[in-house]
Structure 1
């Protein structure tokens, strides 16, 4: 057991890190949050300008503080940024911004040494990996990608449609972000949505109530991953009917995924070569956990964990992984339940009452989806 004077280091100061800090205080731990950005708002300031939550304000808040305004409205990106900054001031935890964690190492006698980009070393009784996945976007390695001379980017780097006005653009993906960005761009550019199968939709409102009302009252938000994997086979886009109509009318074109790049464009499955100016991949993210590589806590970049508790290292936990314990695990509305779960387990471990689980089982490595689960 490590000395109680050592803090619990929380890596990441977005929604997951803030939820973890609050949960740590609730169980008597001393959290120190290390965040690479300039304010405790996670990756939200870097999302595209038009992004809005897919869940209403009443279902999108963290414990202890509601969103301002109409509880039925869908908060904009900037509202979320402001909300998280205010939320960070509602509890007494040390939050250090502008601090990027580069490595975590085991410490003789127990606990960890957390190294930062500035060369500092911080002793930690436990470590909470809450850095999300936005910093690790996934780009499929298609043939000819390196030869393409147009603009090639991930949706993480997309901001607004203006730079693409009048251009030929392909958006790759079938989740919420892909469809939302493609629909926005279609008013300014010549856009094709490239997918590996049909786009599937979920109604935003059912019986006059937002879908998230039904997710809560039915308990679907809390269903474990093993159950969800049997019920949900494909990504689905939340829609009021606008996106479905745009695809059906041809306002937004869709084609089966292209097979390769050329220097000036792409090759479609039927052999057609098309010149394009830009390709935007909305193909998800992988966990951004490279700082745990020195520990051996990862398997091909994927954390060895069950329900957010490391199966390889005592005193290491995770918050904000997709489907960590439920459908809502990496969302504003669901992350605090997981944070409470792992911080209680970590507090019990540090007090000597409980050992965290050890197992060889590792979840299958796959890109984090862009279906809006993180919102």
Structure 2
């Protein structure tokens, strides 16, 4: 292992780009390996109507604000454009269409990163920043293999027109489940299936977006130990329209069905119903199967604290849910986690904490963007 070896960042989405910026600031040499066609993460693959739940003002990576109205809620394609511009502005080696298939420890220290095209790359450290979109969680229920309708995870949902006039069940109690079910209800017969009643958070309080208050109170930075005690169940950010739709019966909610039938589902009250399509919005799991050779995963989950591996020095993670705070796997929070992880990685690489890379200057706009109280 030498200081000439790069830090290899696996994943070129928001987490990988934030890691690259933080690596430069820590005096490291990052190389970003991204499986997709361009470094914009999974955003192009989300459903067409997806919009951020935080305003543009609060939804930025370090050093570059969103353009346009800071109070608007950027849509999926806005985020894709933003990440594309962010990647272009980085002075970093980014290699698209480069899928990592394995990471192995190297004799003498460091790692060897193996790609799908057969390359073997040495690294002083590795950042696992592939997020979770590539690993959707789809539970298995009784009779599931016999169901003959359209069964998919929300990761494979794009737009409502394919469901016009159909009977659809959306499973889940989080933002994506409610947003997709509400969208489908305009042209399909939709039921929202959940294990518990939906919990709502008001999107605006006292005329200000919720994220204003999260930042003002410091709640966005509360550590994982506190947040996971407070936020035990999914919650839905709502201007009032989702609650009204459910309360009025426009978007019916039922307790989760107990089993599949060949043409539908069995509900908890014993009734059965024919259903054309079922969409599971049941979350994701970390997409880090390439780390299997290191034996650092516990049933697929990284063994880490605050994004720092507890099994392998020089291995860090970014983009894990509740990694260090409520905002860890979001545009507004991953930059803080990246700075934390790169400080630890620089200390490992050199034996001491590293200062910001000499000669790396901030523009006035970047300095203002990174000042306290700004995105």
TM-score category, normalised to shorter length: over 0.9
CA distance in 2, matches of 1:341, 1:102: 26
2:279 counterpart SS class: strand
Cα shift at 1:137: 0.2
1:17 counterpart SS class: helix
CA distance in 1, matches of 2:157, 2:201: 25
CA distance in 1, matches of 2:110, 2:262: 51
Cα shift at 1:233: 2.1
CA distance in 2, matches of 1:252, 1:71: 31
Question: What are the ranges of 5 or more consecutive residues in structure 1 without an aligned counterpart?
Answer: 355-375
2:89 counterpart SS class: coil
Cα shift at 1:147: 1.1
TM-score between both structures, scaled by the size of structure 2 = 0.93
CA distance in 1, matches of 2:4, 2:348: 15
Kindly provide the CA deviation profile for residues 106-136 of structure 1, in whole angstroms up to 9, marking residues without a partner as x: 1111111101111111111100000000000
CA distance in 2, matches of 1:96, 1:175: 34
Aligned to 1:129: 128
CA distance in 1, matches of 2:229, 2:144: 34
The answer to whether the aligner puts 1:276 opposite 2:275 as a matched pair is yes
Aligned to 2:204: 205
Cα shift at 1:353: 2.7
Q: Where do residues 1-375 of structure 1 align in structure 2 (5 Å cutoff)?
A: 2-353=1-352
CA distance in 1, matches of 2:139, 2:232: 21
Cα shift at 1:18: 0.1
CA distance in 2, matches of 1:54, 1:216: 15
CA distance in 2, matches of 1:68, 1:78: 13
- Which stretches of structure 1, 4 residues or longer, exceed 3 Å deviation after superposition? none
How many pairs does the alignment contain?
353
CA distance in 1, matches of 2:145, 2:105: 39
CA distance in 2, matches of 1:254, 1:53: 24
1:87 counterpart SS class: helix
Question: What are the ranges of 5 or more consecutive residues in structure 2 without an aligned counterpart?
Answer: 354-375
2:88 counterpart SS class: coil
1:88 counterpart SS class: helix
CA distance in 2, matches of 1:234, 1:284: 12
CA distance in 1, matches of 2:314, 2:228: 29
Cα shift at 1:146: 1.1
CA distance in 1, matches of 2:194, 2:67: 37
Kindly provide the CA deviation profile for residues 76-130 of structure 1, in whole angstroms up to 9, marking residues without a partner as x: 0000000000000112000000011010001111111101111111111100000
1:285 counterpart SS class: coil
